[in-house]
Chain A
Amino acid sequence: MRLRPLLTTLLVISSLALSGCSNNTDRVTGNERLLRGAGGLGTTLVETTVPDRDTYVTPGTANYGSVLLVGRDANFEARAFFKFLRINMPDTTTLTGFTPAGNVLLEFHHVELRNEPLELDLELRETASALADSGTIGWPGPAPGLLLASRTYDFAGNLVMDLGPGGFNRIKQWATPEPDSIPTLMLEASAIQGFAAFSSRTARLRIPFTKTVGNATVADTVNTTVTFDVYLHPPLTPAPTGSDTALVLGGPFESSIAIRAPVPTVAPGASINDLRVVFGVIDSIPGYVLGSDSTATVPFVIEIYQVTGAWPEGATDRSQIPTGTSPVALVVRSFPVGDTLSIPIPPVLARGWTTLNEGVVLSIRNANVKPGLRLGSRESAILPLMRTGTTTAPPGRF
């Protein structure tokens, strides 16, 4: 008998018998011996608490965002202001055959809104006084001054304001000396017709001219892009009191909600499975939604800021509620949101809230061009609730 083939066969048979994927290993029988003390394997509890402070606040009356609103309706008004630090002028000392050609234009890049009027009467003016520093700009801003141009805007393409035949000479005066001689410009609606939106920091001053190159006359344009712009709107009236039955999130006044609720103590080692605030939705604020949000539901982003210090429930301005400059989390939702708005909060916040719980501030990113929401406050019949889910630490091996 040859032994090696026999041994090989026996080995392979034995190995095949003992290898292969495990059968019936549902990992269940191990439970019979997973005994880790009277406390079991950990317990998950979900507790709800009612906020003891809530209000809504606005960030002032100036908007430095990416979309400039201009217009008026029954509830809201917005006027835009522009500043140039310097203006690019054709170099008449070196250009051969320089001749102004046509009127100076100020062009605004149109951003489409969902519900635009058919026409909007707009005026471009100098302001009667200089614009305040950005930190103190507020409604109504500098008074309107010299009318530079007016136009009935039909929303076909970009808005172009024609500074008229004397425009080039006026611009020359603005440029001497820069920037003190350059006035602040403002764009406003002269009638209650609705709103137009323009892209921020893209408006440009266009100076057309001709020059001689060789024997030919060539048309050219010098452009200057606006350095600074902002739009102002009136303050929210009536102002929040801290005891309102509705909390406003978003909308044209860009309201943020500040809310604080007690949470159960989180023991060291415990897991936080859920930390969220759930609001009942009263109704919505349609707002001035971008045309690019053309889907049936409008996506929006809720920014969550951790409140870092004490705040009064009667606060009316966002600056009265101390937070970090960056949100600790973003939550994407879509409008309409349904009967409730559930906002998960980073669970790690609850660990710190063992010693300092001042709650969170909730804001809608680019709220001026998103729908807003009116939500039930703790003074209403549809209370907001803070929901906290925790699991005790699993027991150790020894």
Chain B
Amino acid sequence: MRPLALMLAAVMGLALAAPSARANSVFASAGLGEPSLEENARLRALGGAGAAEHGPASFSLVNPASIAEAQHLLIEATLLQTRREVTTLHYGDETGNESSFPAVRLVLRLPNGLVLGGSYLIGTNGEFQVTRPESSGTASVIRVDGRGGMDFLRVTAAAKLFRNLRAGVDYEVIGGSYHEEWERAFADPNLATNRDTLDVAWDRLGRWRFGAQWVKSWISLGGAYETGRRLPLTQRQEADGSVVTQTGNSLTVPEGYVVGFELRPRDRTRFVGQYRRQNYGESTIQSDLVTFRPLERYSIGWERLPRDGGRPGLGLQRIPLRLGFTVLRWPDLLPIAGASDIGGGTAAVEEWAASIGTGLRTKDGGGAIDVSFEGGQRGDKTTLGAMETFFRLGLSLRVSDETWR
């Protein structure tokens, strides 16, 4: 395990040291931001299809019942390194890199068979950076740095109820905020640079998620239902000597559900699939700049499991091979290219990604390093004025109390 740990540390170091300049999604400057796939690299390589994921060390974050078979104390973290290539109608092309931690998870099995979990995960990524000349009135150069998004702090309880039935429940607090820093500089030295900050925050309230899995040797089915929650919003704009606070609006995080399956036609082969829906809609938030539709994600994956035994000389058959494909329909309906708000028409962000991955496990099966590599596209230059091609390297490290023995 030691060489692997060193290797992972080196790779993470490379990833974290690099991104002094960031390049988040071009679509993250509006609406709720880029939806994040919270799963680990193992499930990312399978297109994110985790609703039926089960096992002593195989977890999904979309279904709380997924951890019911955990045997150890486990900690898992995922690092995502993304490269984006953006093409636009009017502003040319750019490429950029960024790093993120989509999720961290702790799982603990109690002596009575109840499994508890705690996790922190990114819901949406609202980060963006823009520099632009502005000619409205006196000429200036505007630099906008946006950060934040929705994130979740979650506790989970799960148990194996019957031989084939697992159940779990999540309670998660919806946290985060959207923060933008605007800086406007002028060529005229008599005009002082003005700095504004915009914050959108909400009351930290919680919601529930209930999940279940029905597990057989060759087929497993899983599903979860999550409740909605209305979050009172506070919008705050601050300039030098002035603070304007607005309340009265609200953000509604909708109810939703996920269903999925796992098929094992042969010992070393499995297929997974999932459909996830969160019912965002026009009532999500009242705004002239964005409206909403339900978020939908379709995921499908194939995995060739490693051959048991681990005898020397078996080569590539000692590691798993995973392939996946996913289609994501962003909930945000954004103003079309050329429009300044949704009154001029809206367009949706459609996204697809194909993925491949593998991993290594420790002898006890509790520790693992999983890798995923994804490539995909989102957006449309005709309707939205911009399109992104993205590549993601996902690295997940999982350790258990057995790993250190």
Contacts and interface: CB of A to CB of B under 8 A. Distances in A.
The yes or no verdict on A and B being binding partners is: yes
A21 B119 CA distance: 30
Contact of A276 (B190, B285, B290): B190
Given A11-B11, A37-B288, A396 B341 contact: no
Interface in B202-245: 233, 235, 237, 239-242, 244
Contacts of B101: none
B233 to A, nearest CB: 8
A37 B393 contact: no
Contacts of A7: 7, 319, 358, 360, 371
A253 B143 CA distance: 49
B350 interface: no
Given A269-B239, A394-B182, A20 B97 contact: yes
A273 B193 CA distance: 7
Nearest to B96: A22
B112 interface: no
Interface stretch (A40-48, A185-193, A310-318): A40-48
Interface stretch (B23-31, B43-51, B163-171, B294-302): B23-31
Given A8-B7, A42-B184, A344-B190, A28 B21 contact: no
Interface in B372-389: 373, 384-386
Given A33-B384, A41-B134, A24 B95 contact: yes
B144 A28 contact: no
B26 A30 contact: yes
Interface in A1-30: 1, 3-4, 7-8, 10-12, 14-30
A28 B373 contact: no
Interface residues of B, number: 101
Interface in A81-128: none
B89 interface: yes
B198 A397 contact: yes
A28 B91 contact: yes
B316 A1 contact: yes
Given A29-B386, A269-B239, A44 B88 contact: no
A2 to B, nearest CB: 9
Contact of B95 (A1, A15, A22, A40): A22
Nearest to A352: B241
A69 B381 CA distance: 77
A40 B136 contact: yes
Contacts of A270: 239, 242
Nearest to A9: B7
A394 B180 CA distance: 10
A19 B18 contact: yes
Nearest to A389: B191
A162 B360 CA distance: 102
B131 interface: yes
A351 B137 contact: no
Nearest to B240: A271
Nearest to B24: A30
A393 interface: yes
A341 B263 CA distance: 83
B287 interface: yes
Contact of B242 (A4, A8, A23, A268): A268
B319 to A, nearest CB: 6
Contact of B140 (A12, A20, A44, A393): A44
Nearest to B99: A19
B401 interface: no
Interface stretch (B79-87, B252-260, B322-330): B79-87
A43 B21 contact: no
A394 B82 CA distance: 30
Given A23-B95, A24-B94, A273 B192 contact: yes
A347 B242 contact: no
B95 to A, nearest CB: 5
B161 interface: no
A14 B95 CA distance: 16
Interface in A211-235: none
B326 to A, nearest CB: 19
A37 B340 contact: yes
A31 interface: yes
B22 interface: yes
Contact of A272 (B87, B196, B240): B240
- B99, B196, B319: most-surrounded residue (chain A CB, <10 A): B196
A384 to B, nearest CB: 16
A34 interface: yes
B341 A35 contact: yes
A239 interface: no
B90 interface: yes
B247 interface: no
Interface in B347-397: 358, 360, 371, 373, 384-386, 391-393, 395
Contact of A18 (B17, B97, B134): B97
Interface string B128-159: 11111010111010111010000000000000
Contact of A37 (B95, B99, B200, B341): B341
A99 to B, nearest CB: 70
Contacts of B391: 17-18
- B83, B193, B316: most-surrounded residue (chain A CB, <10 A): B83
Given A25-B94, A26-B131, A268-B244, 6 more contacts: A12-B7, A14-B371, A25-B96, A29-B92, A389-B138, A398-B286
The 7 residue pairs across chains A and B that have the minimum distance between CB atoms: A22-B96, A271-B194, A30-B130, A19-B18, A22-B21, A32-B88, A43-B137
27 contacts: A3-B319, A11-B371, A15-B15, A17-B391, A18-B81, A18-B391, A19-B15, A19-B99, A22-B96, A24-B95, A27-B130, A27-B143, A30-B128, A34-B132, A37-B288, A37-B289, A40-B340, A41-B136, A43-B136, A46-B137, A273-B193, A351-B241, A391-B184, A394-B180, A396-B200, A397-B29, A397-B30
Interface of A: 1, 3-4, 7-8, 10-12, 14-38, 40-46, 268-274, 276, 342, 344, 347-348, 351, 387, 389, 391, 393-398
